[in-house]
């Protein structure tokens, strides 16, 4: 197709005085050359007249800003209400640069436009006022006059503060997304969409995104999606899946479908199925405790003749050790001890007839006898007494241990019964669900009445 002059470029307006127009153009070009030469001469004069002290004075360019605005945008007046609406960005790693760009768009959309000023010009004018601290220093470090459009400003800003590492981290969160144990369907869908908003350049098609989200759902959430889709989601297009997820999230956001967190006295859903090794370990411990509890009691060994089968107090050789038998009888409380009343007739009867403790006949006070060393007991008697004490302590500890073991066995029996009931109930529910006799609903966690 042959192009014409009118179709390839705009027509030039007819100039009746073309020679006069040419002289005007030449005069303007001459003035520009003279002005440029004059500036060069002034700069050369400054260089020739420069002193050593002039090197310490910083040189400020004519236009130090890196953002170039048209004249109409430079004359646009920003009022206090505009400064109050401005967002701020400090350049911290925890800040979201994309959210800052969106805030600038929202702010400028509410500003009144004037003749010759567009929203793009206003975004370029407002942008430097929104930067603080580290971000402000970055903008001032750019070459003056570098950015001439909003696209250049936006790309330069995101190139600096939206690093490749941050993009990779957000893309990994999208690819490895999974619904948490205590998270409902609506919360999971909202969190997944937040990742997509934070990383709009993830590069994944909608079909892959919908498949990632569906595969990341728990069994109960997948069942709810399939039921809402009429049986299966495999026949839905990506757009239909996205619409289905949006609708289901709205309808279920007020119903708590998340799993309940297990407490101290509860068994969580993740612990409902015990492994075979755990059941075998509990069974072996229970058998050991039962065997220990059913073991025949240890026969008492005589402390006199060291022969088992009879008590120490019944030893046929006890007549040779009457003191030891008396101590054994006292130990098992086979006789009644006298009272400890110091004023009774059976307690220290010598005190009642002692001349020193009488109110009369003080002249016949007897002097106390001298110190009499205490007779040492026979070594065999001391050994036997110590042995009897140790035997009594051992019997007490053994009885306490047996009582504790019996209590532990009872607790284990209760726990095994509760665990068996939980396993049976879970198996029955899974069997019924596999036969599709019941609608799929999340399993409620069981609350046994024992404390682990």
CA angle 112, 115, 121 (to 5 degrees): 70
How is the chain split among helix, strand and coil, in percent rounded to 5? 60, 0, 40
- Residue 362's pLDDT is 53
Task: Name the DSSP class of 133.
Answer: H
Q: What is the pLDDT of residue 35?
A: 84
Say if residue 148 is in the same domain as residue 80.
yes
Q: Which of residues 184, 219, 252 is at a domain's end?
A: 252
Domain boundary among 162, 188, 217: 162
The dihedrals phi and psi of 255, each to the nearest 5 degrees, come to -110, 130
Predicted local confidence at residue 335, as pLDDT: 47
Q: Of 333, 334, 338, 326, nearest to 385 (Cα)? A: 326
Which of 162, 194, 220 lies at the terminal end of a domain, its last residue? 162
Q: At what angle do helices 185-198 and 219-228 cross, to 10 degrees?
A: 90
Query: pLDDT at position 262, please?
Result: 47
Helices (H) and strands (E) in the chain, counts: 17, 0
Are 130 and 196 members of one domain?
A: no
Residue 396 counted as domain residue = no
What backbone phi and psi angles, to 5 degrees, belong to 373? -65, 140
User: Environment class of residue 394 by beta-carbon count within 10 Å: exposed (0-12), middle (13-18) or buried (19+)?
Assistant: exposed
Nearest to 300 by CA among 398, 383, 382, 404: 398
- Are 152 and 76 within one domain? yes
Does one domain contain both 196 and 144? no
Number of domain units in the chain: 2
Asked whether 185 and 224 are in contact (CB, 8 A), the reply is: yes
Residuewise pLDDT in 10s, the chain (452 residues): 455 554 545 566 777 778 888 888 888 888 888 888 887 877 777 666 666 666 677 766 556 788 999 888 989 999 999 999 999 999 998 899 999 999 999 999 999 988 889 999 999 999 999 999 999 999 999 988 889 999 999 999 999 999 889 899 999 999 999 999 989 999 999 999 999 999 998 999 999 999 999 999 999 999 999 998 988 898 899 999 999 999 999 988 876 555 555 454 444 444 544 556 777 777 777 777 767 665 555 566 676 676 666 777 677 766 666 666 666 656 555 445 555 555 555 555 555 555 555 555 555 555 555 545 555 556 778 888 888 888 888 888 888 888 888 888 988 888 888 888 888 888 878 777 776 554 555 545 444 444 43
Burial class of residue 225, CB neighbours in 10 A (0-12, 13-18, 19+): buried
| Residue 180 falls inside a structural domain | yes
- Residue span of the structural domain in which 80 resides: 71-162
Q: What is the DSSP string of 168-233?
A: HHHHHHHHT----TT--HHHHHHHHHHHHHH-TT----HHHHHHHHHHTS-HHHHHHHHHHTTS-S
pLDDT of residue 300: 65
pTM assigned to the model: 0.45
158 and 173 share a domain? no
DSSP letters for 52-120 = GGGGGSPP--SS--SB---HHHHTPPP-HHHHHH---B---TTS-HHHHHHHHHHHHTTSPP-TT--HH
- Of 389, 374, 380, 382, residue with least CA distance to 320: 380
Q: Are residues 173 and 115 in the same domain?
A: no
Do 157 and 173 lie in one domain? The reply is no
Determine the Cα–Cα distance for residues 206 and 220; give it in Å rounded to an integer. Answer: 24
Same domain, 153 and 187: no
Q: CA-CA distance, 83 to 128, in Å (whole number)?
A: 12
């Amino acid at each position: 197709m042959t192009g014409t002059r009118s179709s390839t470029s705009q027509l030039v307006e007819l100039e009746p005085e073309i020679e006069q127009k040419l002289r005007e153009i030449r005069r303007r070009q001459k003035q520009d050359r003279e002005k440029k030469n004059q500036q060069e001469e002034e700069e050369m004069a400054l260089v020739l007249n420069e002193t050593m002290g002039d090197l310490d004075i910083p040189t400020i360019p004519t236009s130090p800003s890196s953002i170039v605005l048209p004249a109409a945008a430079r004359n646009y007046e920003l009022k206090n209400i505009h400064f109050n609406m401005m967002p701020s960005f400090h350049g911290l790693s925890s800040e979201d640069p994309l959210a800052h760009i969106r805030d600038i768009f929202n702010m400028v959309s509410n500003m009144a436009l004037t003749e010759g000023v567009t929203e793009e010009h206003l975004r370029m004018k407002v942008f430097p006022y929104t930067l603080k601290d580290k971000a402000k220093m970055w903008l001032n470090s750019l070459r003056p006059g570098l950015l001439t459009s909003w696209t250049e400003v936006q790309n330069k800003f995101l190139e600096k503060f939206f690093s490749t590492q941050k993009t990779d981290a957000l893309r990994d969160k999208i690819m490895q997304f999974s619904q948490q144990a205590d998270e409902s369907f609506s919360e999971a869908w909202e969190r997944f969409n937040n990742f997509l908003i934070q990383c709009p350049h993830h590069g994944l098609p909608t079909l892959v995104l919908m498949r990632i989200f569906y595969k990341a759902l728990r069994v109960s959430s997948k069942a709810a999606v399939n039921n809402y889709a009429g049986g299966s989601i495999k026949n839905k297009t990506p757009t239909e899946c996205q619409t289905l997820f949006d609708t289901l999230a709205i309808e279920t956001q007020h119903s708590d479908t998340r799993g309940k967190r297990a407490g101290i006295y509860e068994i969580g859903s993740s612990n409902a199925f015990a492994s075979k090794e755990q059941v075998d370990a509990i069974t072996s411990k229970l058998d050991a405790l039962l065997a220990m509890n059913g073991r025949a009691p240890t026969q008492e060994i005589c402390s006199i003749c060291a022969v088992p089968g009879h008590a120490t107090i019944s030893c046929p050789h006890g007549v040779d050790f009457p003191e030891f038998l008396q101590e054994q009888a006292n130990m098992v409380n086979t006789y009644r001890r006298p009272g400890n009343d110091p004023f009774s007739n059976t307690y220290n009867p010598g005190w009642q007839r002692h001349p020193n403790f009488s109110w009369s006949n003080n002249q016949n006070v007897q002097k106390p006898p001298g110190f009499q060393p205490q007779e040492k007991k026979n070594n065999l008697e001391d050994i036997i007494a110590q042995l009897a004490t140790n035997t009594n302590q051992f019997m007490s500890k053994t009885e306490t241990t047996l009582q504790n073991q019996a209590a532990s066995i009872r607790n284990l029996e209760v726990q095994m019964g509760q665990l068996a009931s939980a396993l049976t109930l879970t198996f029955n529910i899974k069997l019924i669900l596999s036969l599709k006799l019941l609608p799929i609903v999340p399993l409620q966690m069981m609350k046994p009445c024992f404390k682990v």
